[in-house]
Amino acid sequence: MSTSNSPAPSLGDFLRAKREAVTPEMAGLPPGRRRRTPGLRREEVAIRASMGSAWYTALEQGRDVQPSDQALTCLARALLLNETEREHLYALAGRPAPPRAIDNGSTINPILQRLLDRMEPDPVYVMDAYWEVIAWNGAAAALFNIERPGDKHPRNKLWWIFTQKRVETHRADWLKSARTLVSIFRSQATRYADDPRMRRLIDDLLEASDAFRELWAEQDVLDLASGRKAMRMPDGTSREFDYLPLRIPDLPGACLMVYLGVG
């Protein structure tokens, strides 16, 4: 069994490379005449990140310095890091990166819409971080009755489930499915606890549904997962589907929900 001799990724090396990639002009600083190295000086990064120059130097040189989440956030801003670079910075520091901000104005990539259409007759839709269905194909529109004008949250999956005219809380299978969905939603919503729209959605659900309020109080958390379930078709028959959630990298918090008919 062979082992690699390549060095492990270094936080200091990454900071140094990003510092040297930021020109004074990019940082809104005068270029100066006596710059011996490309990019910003260490003390300039420290000032931009609101931290001591000696502390930043120790961090870049790989000494035993443990940056906090706030320090990493300041460094990402000072070095003009994009989202992927920011997440890499956190990973090198051994910390989980904060979730990417939800883009409320996001629209799906046309290629993704083509994928949805080509998956007919299997129902497929895209659900954003608020569990709002933002794109779908014809099969999904028919199966889930996606267009529901007049509702407070007309295309929200949780709103459908907990505010429909006949909420079947007496059925064990309904309760099991609803509990799972609320547990998944809680784990996602917690990442965006400071988002006003997320807070409004939760408040509306708590006010509108006794069943949601009871399940929300249980504090259970789950992650998205695949599975199989029987669903009632528009013609009244029942059919089984294998379902699979797939995350969408360029839509933070969103996922592609695929339902493949069984048999």
Q: What is the pLDDT of residues 17-33, one digit of tens each?
A: 999 999 988 888 877 66
Q: What is the pLDDT of residue 183?
A: 95
The CATH number of domain 110-261, selected from 3.30.1280.10, 3.40.50.300, 3.30.450.180, 3.40.50.1110: 3.30.450.180
Which of 48 and 148 is assigned the larger pLDDT? 48
pTM above 0.85, yes or no: no
- ∠ CA(219), CA(225), CA(231), 5° rounding? 100
For CATH 3.30.450.180, list the domain ranges present in the chain: 110-261
Let me know: does 238 contact 231? Beta carbons within 8 Å: yes
Point out the least confidently predicted range of 22-26, 170-174, 175-179. Answer: 170-174
Q: What is the pLDDT of residue 2?
A: 40
Tokens of 27: 């940082």
Q: What type of residue is 179?
A: R
Q: How far is CA 212 from CA 189, 196, 197, 205, 217, in A?
A: 14, 20, 18, 7, 9
Question: What CATH architecture is 11-92?
Answer: Orthogonal Bundle (1.10)
Residue 116 has pLDDT above 90, yes or no: yes
Average per-residue pLDDT for the chain: 88
For CATH 1.10.260.40, list the domain ranges present in the chain: 11-92
Which of 132 and 2 is assigned the larger pLDDT? 132
Let me know: does 226 contact 236? Beta carbons within 8 Å: no
What is the dihedral angle through the alpha carbons of 182, 187, 193, 195, rounded to the nearest 10 degrees? Answer: -80
